[in-house]
């Protein structure tokens, strides 16, 4: 058998919705290659942990962030994607709620920060390509799974949800039709709380009813937003 010397890493694209914009979590590398460049959080998988455990560990070590949604994205394995060794990276797609946005640089990173995806710095390795893949995944997922709620606070305004969809899908959505449709699914709870953000009529708070969603899903219900 050929002696193979390929390393396996994991990298994560962590999205957060912040200041009405889609943000992504990046770290500033403090080791070569690409020392001082911004990059996706990630690192080599340890001998006895699963891929998912590796992502969770790296995210904790490098950024201290708490993940609300995690799924595998894609594996990148071009022979020369890392200038030193051959590294195959299994990448993950993650979403965090605003209440979990608190981050801090730790062991392997000299800095951690949220970046608006429309104003990104140059990224290390092929990470820009990974990020593009993740953005497409998010756009798709938004239309057939209620992942938007993993980007919003537990209690949110309808207008937040609407803006989130418009920001990520990059198109205008009719307010009335959107509300009608989402409410018709019966997976939101209207709370008895209103909040007033500066001027304008105070808005009702809503809560995503996860239990109800999974119940309906069992019964064949399909979340679907164009």
Partner DNA sequence: GCAAAAGTGTTACTCATACACCCATGA
Partner DNA sequence: TCATGGGTGTATGAGTAACACTTTTGC
Site residues for a copy of itself per CB under 8 A: 1-2, 4-8, 44-51, 72, 74-75, 77-79, 86, 88, 90
Tell me whether residue 34 or residue 221 sits nearer to DNA (CB atom): 221
- Residue indicated by tokens 């560990």: 57
Q: How far is the CB of 1 from a copy of itself (least distance, A)?
A: 7
198 binds DNA (CB under 7 A): yes
Residue 47 binds which one of DNA, a copy of itself, none, with CB within 5 to 8 A depending on kind? a copy of itself
Residue 218 binds which one of DNA, a copy of itself, none, with CB within 5 to 8 A depending on kind? none
Cis amide leading into 33 (omega within 30): yes
177 binds DNA (CB under 7 A): yes
Options 4, 5, 48, 196; binder of DNA; rule CB under 7 A: 196
Q: How far is the CB of 22 from DNA (least distance, A)?
A: 19
Residue 179 binds which one of a copy of itself, DNA, none, with CB within 5 to 8 A depending on kind? DNA
Note whether 59 and 94 are within 8 A (CB). yes
Q: How far apart are CA 69 and CA 151, in angstroms?
A: 9
171 binds DNA (CB under 7 A): no
Residue 67 has phi, psi (to 5 degrees) of -90, 135
Q: How far is the CB of 221 from a copy of itself (least distance, A)?
A: 15
Note whether 98 and 80 are within 8 A (CB). no
Residues 30-59 that bind DNA (CB under 7 A): none
170 binds DNA (CB under 7 A): no
71 binds DNA (CB under 7 A): no
Residue 51 binds which one of DNA, a copy of itself, none, with CB within 5 to 8 A depending on kind? a copy of itself
Residues that bind DNA (CB under 7 A): 157-159, 174-177, 179-181, 194, 196-204, 224, 226
């Amino acid at each position: 058998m050929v002696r193979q010397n390929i390393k396996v890493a994991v990298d994560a694209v962590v999205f957060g919705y912040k200041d009405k914009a889609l943000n992504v979590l990046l770290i500033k590398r403090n080791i070569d290659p690409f020392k001082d460049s911004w990059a996706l959080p990630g690192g080599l998988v340890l001998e006895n942990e699963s891929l998912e455990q590796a992502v969770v560990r790296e995210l904790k070590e490098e950024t201290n962030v708490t993940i609300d949604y995690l799924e595998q994205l894609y594996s990148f394995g071009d022979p020369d994607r890392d200038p030193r060794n051959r590294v195959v990276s299994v990448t993950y797609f993650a979403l965090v709620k605003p209440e979990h946005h608190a981050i801090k640089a730790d062991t392997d990173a000299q800095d951690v920060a949220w970046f608006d995806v429309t104003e990104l710095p140059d990224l290390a390795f092929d990470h820009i390509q990974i990020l593009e893949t993740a953005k497409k995944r998010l756009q798709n997922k938004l239309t057939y799974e209620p992942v938007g709620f993993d980007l919003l606070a537990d209690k949110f305004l309808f207008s937040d949800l609407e803006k989130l969809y418009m920001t990520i899908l990059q198109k205008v959505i009719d307010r009335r039709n959107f509300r009608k449709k989402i409410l018709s699914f019966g997976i939101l709870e209207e709370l008895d709380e209103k909040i007033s953000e500066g001027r304008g009529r105070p808005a009702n708070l809503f809560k995503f009813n996860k239990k109800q969603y999974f119940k309906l899903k069992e019964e064949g219900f399909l979340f679907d937003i164009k």
